């Protein structure tokens, strides 16, 4: 007897079929990494010392998130049930969408922005409302407010924003939260340390506000995948429900309290970036390259039609940049990460040589 198989393929959910994909260009990143807004140098030496104390037996154990979560909450002056540690802010966004979005709920985001908002929101709903910044690439406050409807269930904003480096004023955030009490409002503060303003304390009084922080940038732990999301306990409870128990690995959990305790290191790194950002801005001005004033550890430059050529020339000079030309409203724009002083110096030197090599002129 022969078995007849019918060629019926397994179909994903319609929204998954329709959703976009995100493949950051991670291949061959062996040059100076001024492309992903990471810390370009190292985490606190105390983290490395902690890593060296890890034991073989320790690796055999499932990770326990709670102690590190309690230490993190205490560090930020929050209660343990107001904080969830996640596998990077990427996972925090994912969990938020999974916990809160029905298929016909609306999500409001500001473009150009971090593409993972698109990904995670479109996994759950097709009603993604993208509010595009004008040519100034500043936060379009009035138009974001106007985009709020009774069906808005989630609003995701970032301050400083990636890739523009622009910010959202605290007053504006509070007004948005008040205008959409039926919606969760996520403030993504991944680049907080390079700007210094936060709305974290406002979660005490604003019931629909959530704040996300990452340990991938100033802390220099992108490879450990560590993020945090905070909000009032009632808002956090559904996130905990959809989160898997071992979402953050134990090595990251061991290192986190040590990283948090070394405030001096993070401040040092943030200061390096602030000084480097100023130096890079001066260099760009001298080179005749327009850029958007940035509050983060990167600067978006207006290169024009030679954007691809510049990225290639920089790679030949041993420096990676990120071409953001495909982002909405960013045609011809290229982003450069600001790192420690030495890396900024190398970045400026490579930029000066590359612009000359490709015979670049302002358009
Ligand atoms: N938010 C923004 C605005 C980002 O630019 C990034 C990283 N590129 C993230 C979140 C993700 O951070 P994490 O490494 O914690 O997932």
Read off the pLDDT of residues 228-287 as tens digits, 9 standing for 90 and up.
999 999 999 999 999 999 999 999 999 999 999 999 999 999 999 999 999 999 999 999
Q: CB-based contacts of 81: which residues, under 8 Å, 6+ apart?
A: 233, 236, 237
Q: Looking at the domain that runs over 14-40+264-357, which CATH code has it been given?
A: 3.90.1150.10
Looking at the chain, which residues constitute the CATH 3.90.1150.10 domain(s)?
A: 14-40+264-357
End-to-end Cα, the chain, rounded Å: 73
- Tell me how far apart the alpha carbons of residues 51 and 48 are, in angstroms, rounded to a whole number: 5
Q: What is the pTM of this model?
A: 0.96
216 Cβ inside 6 Å of ligand 1: yes
- pLDDT of residue 1 exceeding 60: no
Pocket of ligand 1 contains residue 214 by CB under 6 Å: yes
- State which of 24, 43, 113, 216 you would mutate to test the pocket of ligand 1, scoring each by most atoms of that ligand within 8 A of its C-beta: 216
Which region among 8-17, 89-98, 176-185 has the lowest average model confidence (pLDDT)? 8-17
> For 155-207, what is each residue's pLDDT tens digit?
999 999 999 999 999 999 999 999 999 999 999 999 999 999 999 999 999 99
Separation of CA 88 and ligand 1 centre (Å)? 7
Q: How far apart are CA 213 and CA 266, in angstroms?
A: 14
Give me the residues paired with residue 335 across strands: 300, 322
Taking the C-alpha atoms of residue 85 and residue 214, their distance in angstroms, rounded to an integer, is 10
Pairing of strands 152-158, 290-292: unpaired
DSSP 162-206: TTT-----HHHHHHHHHH-TTSEEEEE-TTGGGT----GGGGGT-
Atom of ligand 1 nearest to the CA of 90: 16
Residue 132 pairs with which residues in a beta bridge?
A: 111
Ligand 1 pocket member 93 (CB < 6 A):
no
Does the beta carbon of 88 sit less than 6 angstroms from any atom of ligand 1? Answer: yes
How much distance in Å is there from the Cα of 359 to the middle of ligand 1? 34
In 98-119, which positions are buried (b, 16+ CB within 10 angstroms) versus exposed (e)?
Answer: bbbbeeebbbbbbbbbbbbbbb
CA dist 240 and 357 (Å) reads 53
Q: pLDDT band at residue 28, thresholds of 50, 70 and 90?
A: confident
Rounded distance from Cα 89 to ligand 1 centre (Å): 6
Sign of CA dihedral 46, 52, 55, 56: positive
CATH architecture of the region 47-52+60-262: 3-Layer(aba) Sandwich (3.40)
Distance 214 CA to ligand 1 centre (A): 7
Q: Do residues 213 and 187 lie in contact, with contact meaning Cβ atoms separated by under 8 Å?
A: no
Within the chain, all domains assigned CATH 3.40.640.10 are found at 47-52+60-262
Alpha-carbon span 105 to 129, nearest angstrom: 10
pLDDT at 24: 86
Q: What is the distance in A from the centroid of ligand 1 to the CA of 244?
A: 20
């Amino acid at each position: 007897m022969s078995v007849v198989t019918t060629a019926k393929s397994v179909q994903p959910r319609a929204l998954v079929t329709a959703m976009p994909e995100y493949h950051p260009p991670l291949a061959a990143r062996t040059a100076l990494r001024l492309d992903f807004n990471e810390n370009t140098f190292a985490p606190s030496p105390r983290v490395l010392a902690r890593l060296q104390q890890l034991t073989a037996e320790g690796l055999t154990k499932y990770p326990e998130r709670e102690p590190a979560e309690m230490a993190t909450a205490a560090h930020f002056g929050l209660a343990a049930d107001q904080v969830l540690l996640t596998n990077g802010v990427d996972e925090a966004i994912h969990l938020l969408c999974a916990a809160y979005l029905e298929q016909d709920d609306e999500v409001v985001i500001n473009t150009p922005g971090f593409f993972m908002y698109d990904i995670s929101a479109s996994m759950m709903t097709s009603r993604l409302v993208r509010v595009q910044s004008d040519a100034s690439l500043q936060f379009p406050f009035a138009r974001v407010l106007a985009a709020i409807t009774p069906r808005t269930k989630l609003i995701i904003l970032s301050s400083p924003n990636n890739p523009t480096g622009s910010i959202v004023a605290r007053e504006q955030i509070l007004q948005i939260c008040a205008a959409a009490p039926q919606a969760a409002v996520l403030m993504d503060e991944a680049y907080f340390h390079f700007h210094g303003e936060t709305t974290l304390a406002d979660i005490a009084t604003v019931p629909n506000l959530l704040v996300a922080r990452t340990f991938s940038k100033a802390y220099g732990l992108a490879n450990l995948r560590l993020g945090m999301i905070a909000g009032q306990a009632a808002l956090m409870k559904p996130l905990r429900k959809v989160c898997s128990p071992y979402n953050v690995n134990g090595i990251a959990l061991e290192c986190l309290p040590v990283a948090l305790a070394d405030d001096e290191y993070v401040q040092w790194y943030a200061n390096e970036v602030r000084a480097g950002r100023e130096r890079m801005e001066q260099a760009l001005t001298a080179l005749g390259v327009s850029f958007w004033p940035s509050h983060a550890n990167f600067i978006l430059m207006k290169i024009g039609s030679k954007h691809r050529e510049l990225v290639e020339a920089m790679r030949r000079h041993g420096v990676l940049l990120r071409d953001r030309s495909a982002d909405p409203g960013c045609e011809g724009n290229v982003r450069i990460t600001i790192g420690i002083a030495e890396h900024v110096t190398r970045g400026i030197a490579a930029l000066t040589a590359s612009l000359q090599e490709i015979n670049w002129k302002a358009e």
